[in-house]
Chains A and B, each alone.
Chain A
Amino acid sequence: MRPFAYQRATDVPSAVAAGTGQAMYLGGGTNLVDLMRLGVATPEVLVDVTRVPFDTIEETPGGGLLIGAGVRNSDLAAHPLVLRNYPMLAQAVVAGGSGQIRNMATVAGNLLQRTRCSYFQDITKPCNKRVPGSGCPAREGDHRNLAILGHSEACVATHPSDMAVPLAALGAVVNVESSGGPRAIPMPGFHRLPGDAPERDTLLRPGDLVTAVELPALPFAARSRYRKVRDRASFAFAVVSVAAALDVADGVVRDCRIALGGVAHVPWRAERAEAALRGAPATAEEFARAAEAELAQASPLPRNAFKVPLARNVLVRTLLDLTAREDLTAAGDTGETS
């Protein structure tokens, strides 16, 4: 591990002031410290922001939620308003990591975690995300777990977060503080597709500090679900995941929010599927049609082509579950194999 300086910030201004140059912010450290050990992350200064008092969850005047960047994942998943108003968010958070990791990991850290692509994490191999221009061995090599949507010649990485998937579905807004003043960046646009600059995961600029994530009021999200497909029954990243909220009246979809995880460089908002569903009958046939509409743009690689039918199936199943079941709460998502 390369030597680095450690500073502890106690408020947002002092954190932003310290976050210059080759500094990185330290939250729970559940990803960053690993990356430092691997030599992937080499900050000169580590600015510990765990003492910055942005660790609360508050209801906004508009009926949404303002979630502090430092809120621990465990606390987020257990919050009564999250459980009641956004069950898919609570389900997604508890589907990630382990109990110990969720006790440490923060909201901002979860949003900003890096891809678990094997090549990115091994500094003895090329990777355009880690060393721009060095190449992408994953395209020809092992990419079973990598992207089927929105990838580029330069990068086929996936974003690993579960939490970010319902946030993208909800259209959450990421609040950012910087030396130039505050900004608000809406999701899903907060994360970026790789294009020819895969080294940039998000729209954040050096020194930017995420301070909060704001959830809009969305009453029908009280009926929502996160379904994570994974190889191992726990403590595994999603092979494919779906976050969906459905507003059905008289058998017709009035509105919906859908995002996919494990399929792209970003938590993938399924806008085509949403458009296909709005105003359509809430039937298995229409759900399948919507899923096909979304996945028509998929460009799988040889060893992850299975993700296309998998994503289609899981999306359809999740929508069917939302229309069929009356008792969907965070605790209700214990389908046997999930």
Chain B
Amino acid sequence: MTTVAMPNVGSALDRVDALEKVTGRARYAYENFPADLAYAVPVQATIAKGEISAVDVDAVLQLPGVIAAIWHANAPRLAPRNGDPELAVLQSSRVAYRGQYVAVVVAETLESASEAARVLRVRYDADEHDVELRPGHPGLYRPDHVNPYFPTDTEQGDPDAALAAARVVVDATYSTPAEHNNPMEPHATVAVWDAEGLTVYDSTQGASNIRDTLAPLFGLPPGSVRVISPHVGGGFGAKARAHPHVALAALAAKQVGRPVKLAVTRQQMFAVTGYRTPTIQRVRLGADADGRLTAIVHEAIEQSSTVSEFAEQTAVPTRMMYAAPNRRTTHRLVRLDVPTPSWMRAPGEAPGMYALESAMDELAIACRIDPIELRIRNEPDVDPESGRPFSSRNLVACLREGARRFGWAGRDPEPGIRREGGLLVGTGVAASVFPVYRMPSQATARAEPDGGFTVRIAAADIGTGARTVLTQIAADALDAPMDRVRVEIGDSALPPAWVAGGSAGTASWGTAVVRACEALMDVLHGRAGDVPPEGLEASADTTQEVRAQRRFAQHAFGAQFAEVAVDMDTGEARVRRLLGVFAAGRILNPKTARSQLIGGMTMGLSMALLEESVMDQEFGDYLNHDFAQYHIAASADVRDIDAVWIEEDDPGLNPMGSKGIGEIGIVGTAAAIANAVHHATGVRVRDLPIRLDKLVHGVI
């Protein structure tokens, strides 16, 4: 494959929808007000396991403005055949986790619906619940595969013998807490039924996907469902699939025969829109005296709900990071009475690389080798487990460039010795990685009689700048100025497209856009550029192209460097500097790309120091379910942060030559910071987040 010459691509252009957004004209899901609108407020289970025995519907129907109170005894039947069982809302008396939807109240106003939902009496027969992920849990089992389709376990050589024979061994267990992806815009859905079917205004990472999920659930052909989602205020994976509120809104609208609006509150999001599973990970590294790895073993345990299996691919990045002849990765899952985990920015890589890259730092210390040198020594020639060549792999270049920019040379590895007043200061490094995916999508490109162009694809701009980048790509493919190209996205009526997920949006959509534009250009050339009054249209479907792609090992890489200062009196750890150097193919828009990368790194900093969803063992919910209690990094936590990239020309990717950049920024950050904390204090924190209570005893 060759990349296309592109004058707009590669330019740091402003967002094409910036003015619309900052002037409030960009309309988000909640801001749709169809005629005769009613408001739905869900009622959530207050037990973690058991049965609903009764719901006192009549009492709330007496309240002013209340239209309906729906629960499983009076709800319309859904058809969740083979679908996500989470979407079978109000179909059963069973309660599988605290916070699960058990009823929904519909009223004339949000206030009336909220009050009725608050006072609605739901009676339960509660069972004993188990919400604790712990090593040795009797319910641990081996899932068939891990997200999205990776083998659960892999093994090569004889890792146990290699560990027994290794000169240096690191054997450490790391844990990461549950974390909740909380985009700035909470989930919201407006559902409208009419003679033609169902229209849903939704905040989603993929309109086509939501349509294809809703249609069978309500017994409709896909063409009878339309999902409209032109602007989305962040997703981070939390909006990549239909969560139960989408089905609940559509169900409520169907029941009352009116349009219904349902907004998930911040507090509710902690039970019903997915989260990152907690993990417990044992990593064992065996090496010779020079730090060359002889064995890598990474064993992860995680949780899912009893409703559905989500098995995160925590140890999967360990399969390709470093060379070693003997290796094993495993995943074990336990189904608890907890909400269902799902995708959160870099599922697998984010928690998995915290463990692996912390262990590599421990190995560097054990071998008395610089941690950058250790990684360079263990750089594989080909993908270690598959044997496939990398289409491009520039981890070493990132490490070296980062070392140069950060001022790594001459670093004294001795921990706990750099004092500045009452602070202990240290630096740390870790590698970043994220796989390159590209998925089939379709697009149309249209030449308008006025000389402009319209490109259509059901892509999603969740704040990443996708609309802008697709406009750049289309303009270049059409050899037209940006302002003559209009890209329409965020609507399932447009040609179907992959979700904004897996860092694969731009690659998947961009390929379809380029191919549609190329097809249109062919037509135009054939007509000597003549556009008839009705315009000219061409379309593309990349299914064949994507499936035929040569099977290289394809990943983006990066290196992250952190400098931290830890207060010796309090254990407060703050990140003074954070630098990421990435190799991610061609950077299509440096402005939006930098935002993606430093955004990911900020989320990684937040994961390192702050984020933890606390499971309440007695009640079985995530206790700290608001932003006052669930801490996300504030501006004051993010001081000197920068992301840069090295030139990477990889023709084997897609017509743009790009790799995804939405997730790699969060990968490795926590390890870089944890390694810096160790360098500063001598305290190795193997249990995120690194809060002051884990340091206050160690640094005094």
Which residues in A have some Cβ–Cβ distance to B below 8 Å? 1-3, 38-39, 116, 118, 121-125, 137, 140-142, 144, 229-237, 239-240, 306, 309-310, 313-314, 316-317, 335-338
Q: Which 7 A-B pairs have the closest CB atoms?
A: A233-B636, A234-B636, A313-B569, A306-B693, A337-B567, A337-B572, A317-B569
Closest CB-CB distance, A314 to chain B, in whole Å? Answer: 6
State whether the Cβ of B629 lies closer than 8 Å to any Cβ in chain A: yes
In angstroms, Cα B632 to Cα A236, docked, is: 10
Does A232 lie within 8 Å of B565, measured CB to CB?
no
The verdict on A337 contacting B565 (CB below 8 Å), with A118-B624, A118-B629, A239-B692 known, is yes
Contact of A124 among B46, B115, B633 (CB under 8 A): B46
User: Nearest chain-B residue to A2 (Cβ)?
Assistant: B115
Q: Which residues of B contact A239 (CB under 8 A)?
A: 692
The verdict on A313 contacting B616 (CB below 8 Å), with A118-B624, A141-B623 known, is no
Most buried by B among A38, A39, A124: A124
Q: Which residues of A contact B614 (CB under 8 A)?
A: 142
The verdict on A310 contacting B635 (CB below 8 Å), with A140-B618, A231-B610, A337-B567 known, is no
Given pairs A124-B619, A142-B614, 13 additional interface contacts (CB within 8 A): A122-B623, A142-B624, A230-B572, A231-B572, A231-B631, A232-B634, A233-B574, A234-B636, A235-B636, A310-B696, A313-B570, A317-B569, A338-B572
Q: Which residues of B contact A38 (CB under 8 A)?
A: 267
State whether the Cβ of B591 lies closer than 8 Å to any Cβ in chain A: no
Closest CB-CB distance, A302 to chain B, in whole Å? Answer: 12
User: Nearest chain-A residue to B422 (Cβ)?
Assistant: A317
Residues 568-594 of B at the A interface (beta carbon under 8 Å)? 569-574
Q: Which residues of A contact B115 (CB under 8 A)?
A: 1-3
Q: Which residues of A contact B696 (CB under 8 A)?
A: 306, 309-310, 313
User: Nearest chain-A residue to B44 (Cβ)?
Assistant: A124
Q: Which residues of B contact A125 (CB under 8 A)?
A: 619
Contact of A229 among B570, B609, B626, B631 (CB under 8 A): B570
Does B616 lie within 8 Å of A142, measured CB to CB?
yes
The verdict on A144 contacting B693 (CB below 8 Å), with A314-B569, A317-B569 known, is yes
State whether the Cβ of B118 lies closer than 8 Å to any Cβ in chain A: yes
In angstroms, Cα B625 to Cα A38, docked, is: 12
* Residues of B in contact, count (CB < 8 Å): 42
Contact of B692 among A3, A229, A237, A335 (CB under 8 A): A229
DSSP class of A's interface residues: helix, strand, loop or mixed?
A: loop
Does A235 lie within 8 Å of B624, measured CB to CB?
no
User: Nearest chain-A residue to B632 (Cβ)?
Assistant: A232
Q: Which residues of B contact A123 (CB under 8 A)?
A: 118
The verdict on A232 contacting B618 (CB below 8 Å), with A124-B46, A336-B423, A336-B565 known, is no
Question: Could you list 16 A-B pairs, sorted by A, with CB under 8 Å?
Answer: A116-B629, A124-B46, A229-B572, A231-B572, A232-B631, A232-B634, A233-B574, A234-B634, A234-B635, A236-B634, A306-B692, A306-B696, A310-B693, A313-B569, A337-B573, A337-B574
Does B572 lie within 8 Å of A118, measured CB to CB?
no
Q: Which residues of A contact B625 (CB under 8 A)?
A: 122
User: Nearest chain-B residue to A38 (Cβ)?
Assistant: B267
Most buried by B among A38, A121, A237: A121
In angstroms, Cα B629 to Cα A337, docked, is: 20
Contact of B423 among A121, A313, A337 (CB under 8 A): A337
State whether the Cβ of B647 lies closer than 8 Å to any Cβ in chain A: no
In angstroms, Cα B570 to Cα A316, docked, is: 11
Contact of A336 among B267, B574, B617 (CB under 8 A): B574
User: Nearest chain-B residue to A239 (Cβ)?
Assistant: B692
